[in-house]
Amino acid sequence: MIKRLIATVAIVCLAVGVAAGGLFFSGALTSHAVQNPTLSLDMDPAGNNYSDPGLGGNNSMTVGTVDSCSTTPPPGDNTTHIHPVHVIVRDVEDLIGWQIRMNYDGGKMKPASFVFTPFTDTLRGQDVSFVNLPIDSTTGNHRDVIGATNIPPAAAGPQTALAGSSYLASQDAPISPDTPAKAVPDDTSYSAPTGGVVATFNLQVLAGNAGQLLTMDLDDGSPNPPGSKVDVFNGTGITTINLAESALGDGFHGEGVPCSVPPPTPTATPTSCIIDDPDFDNDGQNNDVDQDDDNDGIRDFRDRDDDNDGIRDSRDGDDDNDGIPDHEDVDDGQAQCLDNDDEGTGQP
């Protein structure tokens, strides 16, 4: 995962739809799922398809290779323009709804709009996504889908946004889609063996960004809650699965330049500084559970972050993000992790 971008936004709640008068559950419960869900951005969605029953298809969905990178040929487009991408879910059973947290530079590439049902079942005259792919046995139709977004106006610098959707009305196992299918399917009205498209969204590249590698980071709930998640039917109700960074696939776009996924930022382990001490302040609490690693009276999540990369200085191996590890960065003759004035302001 790429480094996180910090921004402050109002939190949007993406509610699961329920039937009027209350939430109803099925009597025959067949779901005993072992979940391992992922959410990813497919930057080149050409290989993803829906088999339309109105055109002789079988109401199936196919996801091809999920491409984390897309590229515009050189020299790139220096005007404001759009690139459509897909949001893909995989390895989930009994899905009710989903949500993604997106972090990005609002002066470079931002989410512009979402289509939560990007395909059409022309036999039934309904728009569909993986979320409402099953056919309701009581109505012979797909469920309706409700979607929500919270996308701030574009502004240069770190920004964060939310989007998600769920199907409406009562929840049960047959109406909640699986990908791949269970060993004993609880519904055969659809198939999605390689994953499901839960939305199309338009990435807007802002003018003046030709020649740059642009990033859309799918994130967990830190530092910007709530994070990316899926809601699943557990046999009696709803279980929320909050997704870790390892379950989220970011998107990258080379606007006139080759697209390559940046490697993870290595963890610095210098011998001249003690930032690799498992108990930095010797208070008897390991740094992983200590809410104030350096015992300065400021909780870690509010502590200094000089380069605004989402990693507080007490744990950051490169405080000023200049590519030089702190223990080698001797701007004023002193390594930053030992320097009480490492930004040179005259203040500690």
pLDDT on residue 293? 63
Question: What does the block give as tokens for 337?
Answer: 């992790």
The rounded distance, in Å, linking the Cα atoms of 103 and 117 is 23
Q: Are 76 and 255 in contact (CB under 8 A)?
A: yes
Domains, the chain: 38-255 (2.60.40.680), 265-348 (no CATH)
pLDDT on residue 169? 94
pLDDT on residue 311? 60
In single-letter form, the type of residue at position 228 comes to S
**Neighbouring C-beta atoms of residue 328, cutoff 10 Å:** 12
pLDDT on residue 32? 43
The rounded distance, in Å, linking the Cα atoms of 321 and 315 is 13
Q: What angle do CA 105, 107, 108 make, to 5 degrees?
A: 70
Cβ contacts of 325 within 8 Å, gap of 6 or more: 268, 270, 317, 318
Residue 150 host element (H or E): strand 145-150
Q: Which residues pair with 202 in a beta bridge?
A: 84, 113
Which stretches does DSSP call E strand in 169-297?
196-205, 212-219, 229-233, 238-242, 248-249, 251-255
Q: Average pLDDT of each block of 10 consecutive residues along the chain (348 residues)? A: 35 36 29 76 97 98 97 97 98 98 97 98 98 97 98 96 97 97 95 98 97 96 95 96 96 95 50 44 60 60 59 61 59 44 50
The rounded distance, in Å, linking the Cα atoms of 182 and 193 is 10
Predicted confidence (pLDDT) per residue in 103-123, tens digit: 999 999 999 999 999 999 999
218: phi then psi, degrees, rounded to nearest 5 = -80, 130
Query: 329: closest CA among 348, 307, 311, 309?
Result: 307
Question: What does the block give as tokens for 109?
Answer: 């590439």
The rounded distance, in Å, linking the Cα atoms of 95 and 92 is 7
pLDDT on residue 260? 84
Question: What does the block give as tokens for 279?
Answer: 């108990």
pLDDT on residue 15? 41
